[in-house]
Structure 1
Amino acid sequence: MIRPVLLTLLSLMALAANSVLCRLALAPEQTPLAESLIDGATERVLASGAIDPVSFTLLRLVAGVGMLWLVIFLLSWKKSEPQKPVAGGSYRAGFMLFIYALAFSVAYLDLDTGAGALVLFGAVQLTMILAGWLQGQRLHFIEWAGVLLAFSGFVYLVLPGFSTPSFSGFILMTLAGIAWGGYTLKGRGSRTPALDTARNFLFTWPWLLLLILWLLIEGGEWTSRGVILALISGAITSGLGYVIWYATLPFYTGTQAAVLQLSVPVIAAVGGVVFVSEPVTMTLIIASLMILGGIFLVITGRWYLQRTASKAG
């Protein structure tokens, strides 16, 4: 029981951290990245449009490939008798990963954080719930109540800062959410999450070549800060984070995994309070209770109903 909980927490924290890194690198406004005390003075490090979205996506995915295959090499090197790895990953999953990463980055040029998060995670949840329904998964009343409560809490969290999104930004972020939902569903049956994730990242190479061609023709905007943020996002919070996420998925149904991801904005908001000194508001507290309460209902609802049915039988 401890292992699933730990993996879930780590994966959700990685997803939240990845969102923060992307926002810091691409946001048009100045956003505090860190504050450090030097000689009694506070030095504020800012990242404002530190890199363009195409370059960010390219570096992010390339860094993910490098980190993941380094992990695979180290794991195989420690084995006394190297075994032939089980085939995993696919070009389809790699394409979904690429579409998510690129559409997510470009969409945030036209959307603010609240609107973008609402569109993204709303699309993820609807995609995964619809896919589960088409595969014959039926939600019980308690699970529906949990879904509605969690989604309502998420809307309540972002509604104060919500502005009407641009049509192109809305379409791109919806596409990113559908792609991430599909990528997550592809990983539910993974038996070798590290290898599968590494191959999925590697299988983005045809699309990365198109990004390189685009940058050669149109040019890009690179700063050392933007490059560092992209590499951290790709190697740590994307590469290693997605491995943990794939390892977590077998413990949950598609609906449960979809609702779990609604906790990511809450974790990111808490990270903003801790690391960026953002204020703790009553809106954040109420929304967090609603989202976490909804997740609790979805995760425990089916177990409770099945247990009740078995006792009755």
Structure 2
Amino acid sequence: MRLFLLTGLTMIAFAANSVLNRMALAGGSIDAVSFGLIRLVSGAVMLALLCFLLRGGLRLGGAGRLAGVASLLLYLYGFSTAYRGLDAGLGALILFGVVQITMFAGGLLKSEPMPPRRWIGAGVAFSGLAWLLWPGGGPSISLVHGLLMALAGVGWGIYSLAGQLSRDALQGTAANFILAAPLGVAIGLLLPTMEPTVLTGQGVILSIICGAVTSGMGYALWYSVLPSLASSVAAVAQLTVPIIATIGGMLLLSEELSLQFAIATVLVLGGVAISVLKPRKP
């Protein structure tokens, strides 16, 4: 039960990232690259402070560090730049679809057991997500931006797989953010030339909250539960994030509830239950 609750809390934090991102970018209070950069740096600062307070110092080494740093940067900036040319729903569908594929592939490479119920549950959950997010008009997709979002999905999938090697979730997450921050600044200085830089007080505050709280602390919590989750289970669990984010959008951004959303919720949560919950033996 404790693992279930911690995983659920982590998914809420991930969904909060999406809601905060939408609030900042949709209102035009900040540009995408600046949001990603401030998010990364504020997360690094918060995690460093927590390590000094709770661990007495920082430890930047550890298993999976290179993969964690590189995949974190790939996710953060792939995600930010992809949304310049993608509808939000379509982008989320690409992202979480690729995350699921990446983590399932990682599980297969590690020879994790894949019972039929896990494949069936994943298929049901993904069909619900597709039902919710796929636009009815058959939109034309920008190949460049679609590939950027797919790369972000690969990045987040690898980041989650690397987290299963971490023995200290707080130190591991802090090390990823701190080592990624200088590289992220260098990337951020190059990317703003592709669009105007926009900075307002509201945008900066939302970026800091997203980085320090829902990203930094949320990712540390994610690293703490990952060693107890099979890769395929972690992949399927993350399919709940768009559902939670949509609920947050309805509550905070006045988005409407639809029958399509209700059906998708049943499919996604039902698929997760089929995949994750083990049947009782008679």
Q: Same fold (TM over 0.5)?
A: yes
1-structure distance, mates of 2:246, 2:31: 24
1:26–1:105 CA contact under 8 A, matched in 2: no
Which residue does 2:216 correspond to in 1? 239
1-structure distance, mates of 2:122, 2:99: 13
Which residue does 1:197 correspond to in 2? 173
Please, which of 82, 85, 92 is the counterpart of residue 107 of structure 1?
A: 82
1-structure distance, mates of 2:175, 2:226: 18
**Structure-to-structure mapping, 1:76-91, within 5 angstroms:** 76=55, 87-88=61-62, 90-91=65-66
Specify which structure has the higher proportion of strand: 1
Which residue does 1:6 correspond to in 2? 5
Which residue does 2:114 correspond to in 1? 139
1-structure distance, mates of 2:35, 2:259: 35
Partner letter of residue 124 of structure 1? V
CA displacement at 1:211 relative to structure 2: 3.0
Which residue does 2:131 correspond to in 1? 156
Percent identity over the alignment?
A: 44
2-structure distance, mates of 1:143, 1:261: 14
Please, which of 12, 34, 51 is the counterpart of residue 55 of structure 1?
A: 34
SS of match in other structure, 1:183: helix
User: CA distance change for structure 1 residues 159 and 66 in 2, over 3 Å: closer, same or farther?
Assistant: same
Which residue does 2:92 correspond to in 1? 117
User: CA distance change for structure 1 residues 291 and 202 in 2, over 3 Å: closer, same or farther?
Assistant: same
SS of match in other structure, 1:5: helix
Which residue does 2:202 correspond to in 1? 225
2:169–2:221 CA contact under 8 A, matched in 1: yes
**What is the CA RMSD across the aligned residues, in angstroms?**
2.2
2:100–2:236 CA contact under 8 A, matched in 1: yes
Q: Mind listing any 5+ residue stretches in structure 1 that lack a counterpart?
A: 28-46
Number of corresponding residues: 279
2:41–2:211 CA contact under 8 A, matched in 1: yes
**Structure-to-structure mapping, 1:1-313, within 5 angstroms:** 1=1, 3-27=2-26, 47=27, 49-76=28-55, 87-88=61-62, 90-160=65-135, 163-211=139-187, 213-214=189-190, 220-300=197-277, 303-304=278-279, 308=281
SS of match in other structure, 1:204: helix
Farther-moved stretch of structure 1 (154-163 vs 248-257): 154-163
Q: Mind listing any 5+ residue stretches in structure 2 that lack a counterpart?
A: none
CA displacement at 1:51 relative to structure 2: 1.6
CA displacement at 1:234 relative to structure 2: 0.6
User: CA distance change for structure 1 residues 216 and 22 in 2, over 3 Å: closer, same or farther?
Assistant: closer
CA displacement at 1:216 relative to structure 2: 8.6
1-structure distance, mates of 2:227, 2:79: 26
User: CA distance change for structure 1 residues 205 and 274 in 2, over 3 Å: closer, same or farther?
Assistant: closer
SS of match in other structure, 2:134: helix
2-structure distance, mates of 1:115, 1:289: 20
2-structure distance, mates of 1:216, 1:147: 38
